[in-house]
């Protein structure tokens, strides 16, 4: 099955092809991305997720962008794993505000057994509210993956962050293959994959092309692809990095849409620093998912009222949940 732009849903993109997309005139690129987007999605519906940090700080990893790393002095206070009732209260608030998916993030290299049992209980109870569930807990082994699948987790987030070639400039405490291995476990277990990257860490356009090519050439495209703009935090090594140009950010959204037509492409971290006009271009380029709420783990996000007003001005609406409270079989996910 082909879309109107002549692009099949593919898993064999070459670097030359992806670089050529990045090199298109801006209006041509957006036209192609919008054409693909309309073939596979409702052009005026946006999926809305809310992200909560359920365990904050003291992460042993050295990700240079992250204020939660124990290696950097960012003034962030370490907090233990939240009690379940606090998590459920936050989930109810998110649901009542219009979110259809509730994401739980914990600053771990990999979850420990007793903590994972508690997280599994949270997942079951959040699903019982009619919300889709997502978790980002670090690397997973086979047993941990089964525990989450048995709890009914709909999505697992584990970002590649950047290209394999640039990865060592940002992170040294886990390998690119470590991340790919976790993604493979999640996929084989039958859960949906949420995986994307971060722009503005000093990477080149070729690195952005390589990241998206890696995602698009996975055996199955991630069902959600978050594209983050680096949120610079004082105390982290990437504080003071050259910001990504808004047009370049929009280009990356558009290329992601073309390469992964069925995926939800999420306009993710960094929206608080974006103008309404930049966000509007991102939606035009094929972004159809956002994080909704005042916080993204430990950094700021536009408040709910601002988002509602922007949606009103753009004629956008909240997408209805596709499999809330149900088995996350991939057939139910666009």
210-214, 268-272, 275-279: segment of lowest average pLDDT: 268-272
Residue 32 pLDDT greater than 70, yes or no: yes
The predicted model scores a pTM of 0.86
**Region 300-313: what's the mean pLDDT?**
78
- Residue 300: per-residue pLDDT: 47
List, as one string, the DSSP characters of 156-170.
EE---BS-TTTGGGT
- Residue 294: per-residue pLDDT: 54
HEC letters along 77-103: CCECCCCHHHHHHHHHHHHHCCCCEEE
The C-alpha angle with vertex 316 and arms to 312 and 321, in degrees rounded to 5, equals: 125
Query: What is d(CA 328, CA 150) in angstroms, rounded to the nearest whole number?
Result: 11
- Residue 204: per-residue pLDDT: 96
- Residue 296: per-residue pLDDT: 46
Residue 324 pLDDT greater than 80, yes or no: no
Catalytic residue IDs: 59, 63, 66, 103, 134, 194, 266
- 244 — pLDDT class (breaks 50, 70, 90): very high
Query: What is d(CA 151, CA 84) in angstroms, rounded to the nearest whole number?
Result: 15
Q: Which helix (H) or strand (E) holds 47?
A: strand 45-55
**Region 193-214: what's the mean pLDDT?**
96
40-49, 232-241, 267-276, 291-300: segment of lowest average pLDDT: 291-300
Residue 6 pLDDT greater than 80, yes or no: no
Model pLDDT for residues 41-66, shown as the tens digit of each residue: 999 999 888 888 888 767 788 888 88
Residue 4 pLDDT greater than 50, yes or no: no
When mean pLDDT is compared over 87-96, 101-110, 255-264, 289-298, the highest value belongs to: 255-264
- Residue 167: per-residue pLDDT: 94
Structure tokens at 297: 């783990």
Identify the residue with better confidence: 334 or 322: 322
- Residue 321: per-residue pLDDT: 64
Query: What is d(CA 212, CA 287) in angstroms, rounded to the nearest whole number?
Result: 14
Distances (CA, A) of 234 to 42, 105, 199, 228, 268: 39, 21, 18, 18, 20
- Residue 326: per-residue pLDDT: 38
Nearest to 289 by CA among 155, 106, 109: 155
List, as one string, the DSSP characters of 113-177.
HHHHHHHHHHHHHHHHTT-EEEEE-S---HHHHHHHHHTT--EEE---BS-TTTGGGT--SS-HH
**Region 309-328: what's the mean pLDDT?**
71
- Residue 67: per-residue pLDDT: 83
């Amino acid at each position: 099955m082909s879309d109107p732009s002549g692009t099949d849903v593919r898993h064999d993109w070459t670097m030359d092809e992806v670089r050529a997309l990045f090199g298109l005139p801006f209006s041509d690129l957006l036209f192609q991305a919008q054409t693909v987007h309309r073939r596979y999605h409702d052009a005026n519906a946006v999926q809305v997720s809310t992200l909560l940090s359920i365990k904050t700080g003291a992460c042993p990893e050295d990700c240079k962008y992250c204020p939660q790393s124990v290696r950097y002095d960012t003034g962030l206070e370490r907090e233990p794993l939240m009690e379940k009732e606090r998590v459920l209260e936050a989930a109810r608030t998110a649901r009542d505000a219009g979110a259809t998916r509730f994401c739980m993030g914990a600053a771990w290299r990999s979850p420990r057994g007793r903590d994972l049992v508690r997280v599994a209980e949270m997942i079951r109870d959040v699903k019982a509210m009619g919300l889709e569930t997502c978790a980002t807990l670090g690397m997973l082994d086979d047993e941990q993956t089964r525990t989450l699948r048995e709890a009914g987790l709909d999505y697992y987030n584990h970002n590649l962050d950047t290209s394999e070639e640039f990865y060592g400039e940002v992170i040294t405490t886990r390998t690119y293959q470590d991340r790919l291995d976790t993604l493979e476990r999640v996929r084989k277990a039958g859960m949906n994959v949420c995986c994307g990257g971060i722009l503005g860490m000093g990477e080149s356009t070729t690195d952005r092309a390589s990241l998206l090519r890696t995602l698009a050439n996975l055996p199955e495209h991630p069902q959600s692809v978050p594209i983050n703009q680096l949120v610079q935090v004082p105390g982290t090594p990437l504080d003071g990095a050259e910001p990504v140009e808004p047009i370049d950010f929009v280009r990356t959204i558009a290329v992601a849409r073309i390469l992964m037509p069925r995926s939800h492409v999420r306009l993710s971290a960094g929206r608080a620093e974006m103008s309404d006009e930049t966000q509007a271009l991102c939606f035009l380029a094929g972004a159809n998912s956002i994080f909704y709420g005042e916080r993204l783990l430990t950094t700021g996000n536009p408040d709910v009222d601002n988002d509602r007003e922007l949606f009103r001005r753009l004629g956008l609406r909240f997408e209805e949940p596709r499999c809330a409270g149900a088995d996350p079989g991939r057939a139910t996910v666009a």
